[in-house]
Amino acid sequence: PLKIKVFMWFVHKHVILTKDNLAKRNWTGLTKCSFCDRDETIKHLFLGCPRAKVLWRTVHIAFNITTPNSVCMLFGTWLNRIQAKTVRHIRVGVCALLWA
């Protein structure tokens, strides 16, 4: 769906309103992740948070692919070794999970 495509474009451009990005806009709330009490950044929220790690571990077990270690890798070389017809399905599924 378009809303997931737009969301992932925002993730790729690092403009999702995570707490660190909100703080840059003079937001005065806490900048800690709601799930683990570490600073909430895009990389943390989608790759480093324990909840995100469970998601990536599941993807690893289901598809036997390595976890991306950066947002750039997620949109770049992450799925280079996977067959082309499978890549689209994995990418769509992962994008939907990240959006959810």
Is 7 in contact with 100 (CB distance < 8 Å)? no
Task: Give the whole-angstrom CA distance, residue 77 versus residue 58.
Answer: 20
51-80 pLDDT tens trace: 999 989 998 998 888 889 898 888 888 888
- Give the model's pLDDT for residue 45: 93
- Give the model's pLDDT for residue 79: 82
3-46 pLDDT tens trace: 999 999 999 998 999 999 999 999 999 999 999 989 999 999 99
Residue type at 37?
A: D
- Give the model's pLDDT for residue 57: 93
pLDDT value at 100 more than 90? no
pLDDT value at 90 more than 90? no
Return phi, psi of residue 75, to 5°.
Answer: -95, 0
Return phi, psi of residue 49, to 5°.
Answer: -65, 145
Q: Residue 93 — pLDDT band, cuts 50, 70, 90?
A: confident
pTM of the model: 0.81
